[in-house]
Structure 1
Amino acid sequence: MQKYLLTPSKISGIRSATNILVNACLRQRNVPPIKQTTGEASQQNNPDPYEVGRRYGPIVKSDILTYGYHLPPAWFGSATASPKVSAQQEAAMNGPSGCLAVSRGELIGDRSLDSPVARQISSKSFMESLKDPKVKAVIADWSSCMAKKGYSYTGPLQALSKADLRSSKPGAKELRDAAADYSCKVSTHLISTWQAVETSIQDKEIAKHLSALKKANAQRAQIMAKADKIVRQGG
């Protein structure tokens, strides 16, 4: 479903184009443009919620050995500091006729970036895969493997949920737990089995809803092409 889902990597150009349009709008209203900052980060992009690399818990060995169940910094992309916005700029930006709404309307119009159908299929396929006999069997194998290592987890998502992700970095116990988790995923072929089942479910759903999915992709492509043009031209 990756090709049909709206992910952060697909909207970075749209965000940049929106900033350009907002500043053009502010200038037209005799309001100083917002200066985009490049200093130390104060906020970061959210990681891709549909990324296959975390769908069944962490599976990248190098990340697991270093970060345990914590998200690697690379998952947050290149973060930038939040630009400072004055009261005058904020007033001109907000509201139904504000520069932000006007700019989004100019860029997106009545088209849609997101595809509710794609999100529904992604969620449905995951939930249905949990009921599949092959997935149930491989999760049981993983659980048995973990039991031999001294853990009593019913599945990899439970192992992930038990990690203390509020801490800034993983402790020694978390690193050991994640390493054991990964080892059992490899030895039981959990990821490849689970992914094959879910892919099969998604293929059937895609066939049923192909027209709507293609339409959503076409609309997004038009928006992204327009955004790229705005960024190239600088407004």
Structure 2
Amino acid sequence: MNRYPTLRWVAAATALCLVASGCGDEKRPAASSDSLTVASPPAVAAIPQLDLLDGKVFPIEAYKLTPEKFRQLNNAQTILANRCLSRFGFPPSLQQVPPTLPPDTSLSRRYGITDPATAAKYGYHQSAGDGAQASRPPAEPVSKELSLVLYGPPDQTGDANGNTGGTAHKGVEIPAGGCMGESKRKLNAAEYERIDPEQFAGDIELAAGKQADADPRVRGKFAEWSTCMKGKGFDYRDPFQPLDGDTLKTSLAQPTPTAVEIQTAVADVECKQQVNLVGVWFAVESAYEERLIEKNQERLAGIKRAIDAMLKAAAGVTG
């Protein structure tokens, strides 16, 4: 099983294209391997006893545009864009994104199945709403006139204040990038787009996760977990295997889990709890993130300032 697509979150709430990285097909610039590599296993001050990641926050979160931050920014952009549209005689045409699930829910499968109640009911299947992200309500069809005002003409450019001296609608000049472009400028998005087009914190999160998975302390817990599973009648070398092997392949493809899948998932959770796999994994992965944050502190500090500036501007809009 590859757990990293869940680490590399994709914010569906970016439908308004607040940041450039959510709006185009440009290839992500590659970060240097040295900036994303920890030379030796980092020390861990304390290992918490954890069954779940509920309420836990990884160090890199402070430097990320998390789904909740995206929601705040996009909702502020929606308000600003709708205000702009009213200047051109259009009614409010954009809808806000409803609140996302609590942060701990988004972490519920980071280390595989960890909740005993979920395992007993759903096995490895996703429960209703598990890990789901809030989505924007369906948009109404956009007319050519509304699209022009909302996004501006494709070849339109403007000055730093968004003045174009060009295209107008009913005698009112359309700002560069339309109402969406104007709202981005009011939210100070340009600085963030300039310094963090590739969302560098996501690279750190991914690199730290992979190095933590290979760390001897985590691998040792995998071995303990495997021994525990064998004692329950299941032969897996690590927690990734149940979803990768052939044993549960048919069950996982069905709408509901088989009894064997549920038994495996329940044993999986029990063994994780018995050896404190989640606690060790979290502590080690956090330590790798902290080391990479220290290694890239100057760059990350600039990113955080840009994110904080956008969130402050958004708070001034949404109240």
For the superposition of Structure 1 and Structure 2, which TM-score range results when normalised by the shorter chain?
0.7 to 0.9
Q: What's 1:222 paired with?
A: 309
Q: Distance in 2 between matches of 1:117 and 1:16?
A: 24
TM-score, structure 1 as length reference = 0.79
C-alpha deviations, 1:108-130, integer Å up to 9, x for none?
Answer: 33222767332122111111112
Residue 45 of structure 1 deviates from its aligned partner by: 6.2
Aligned: 1:191 with 2:278: yes
Gapped regions of structure 1 (runs ≥ 5)? none
**How far apart, in 1, do the equivalents of 2:88 and 2:265 lie?**
55
Counterpart CA distance in 2 for 1:77 and 1:50 is: 10
Shift in alpha-carbon separation, 1:190–1:26, aligned structure 2, 3 A: same
Q: Considering only aligned residues, what root-mean-square deviation do their CA atoms show, in Å? A: 3.3
Relative to 1, partners in 2 of residues 1:170 and 1:143: Cα closer, same or farther, differing over 3 Å? Answer: same
Correspondence for 1:34 among 93, 100, 120: 93
Question: Do structure 1's residue 2 and structure 2's residue 58 form an aligned pair?
Answer: no
Aligned partner (choices 107, 110, 118) of residue 55 of structure 1 = 110
Any residues of structure 2 matched to 1:163-178 within 5 Å, and which? 170=257, 172-178=259-265
Q: Secondary structure at the match of 2:80?
A: helix
Q: Does 1:140 align with 2:223?
A: yes
The one-letter code of the counterpart of 1:62 is A
Q: 2:68–2:100: 8 Å Cα contact kept in structure 1?
A: no
Indicate the residue corresponding to 1:119 in structure 2.
202
**Inter-CA distance 21–189: structure 2 relative to 1 (3 Å threshold):** same
Note the C-alpha offset of 1:184. Answer: 1.0
| Greater gyration radius | 2
User: Percent identity at matched positions?
Assistant: 28
Distance 2:182 2:260 in 1: 51
- Greater fraction helix: 1
Does residue 15 in structure 1 map to residue 74 in structure 2? Answer: yes
Distance 1:198 1:208 in 2: 15
* CA offset digits 1:68-114 (Å, max 9, x no partner): 33155264355553232332434432355232233223323322276
- What are the within-5 Å matches in structure 2 for residues 142-157 of structure 1? 142-157=225-240
Equivalence for 1:92: 149
Tell me whether 133-142 or 68-77 shows the greater mean CA deviation. 68-77
The worse-fitting range, judged by mean Cα deviation, of 200-209 and 76-85 is 76-85
Deviation of 1:182 (Å): 0.4
Mark the runs of 5 or more structure 2 residues left unpaired by the alignment.
Answer: 1-59, 155-176
Distance in 1 between residues matched to 2:216 and 2:107, nearest whole Å: 21
Q: Which amino acid aligns with 1:54?
A: R
Would the aligned equivalents of 2:75 and 2:96 in 1 still touch at CA under 8 Å?
no
User: Separation in 2 of the partners of 1:36 and 1:226?
Assistant: 19
Q: Counterpart amino acid of 2:278?
A: I
Matched position secondary structure for 1:185: helix
Alpha-carbon separation, structure 1, partners of 2:181 and 2:110:
34
2: distance between equivalents of 1:193 and 1:46?
Answer: 25
- The range that moved more, 153-162 or 181-190, is 153-162
Aligned amino acid, residue 132 of structure 2: F
Contact 2:78 2:94 in 1 (8 A): no
Shift of the 160–10 alpha-carbon distance from structure 1 to 2, 3 Å rule, reads farther
- Quick check: 1:65–1:179 contact (8 Å CA) kept in 2? yes
AA matched with 1:83: A
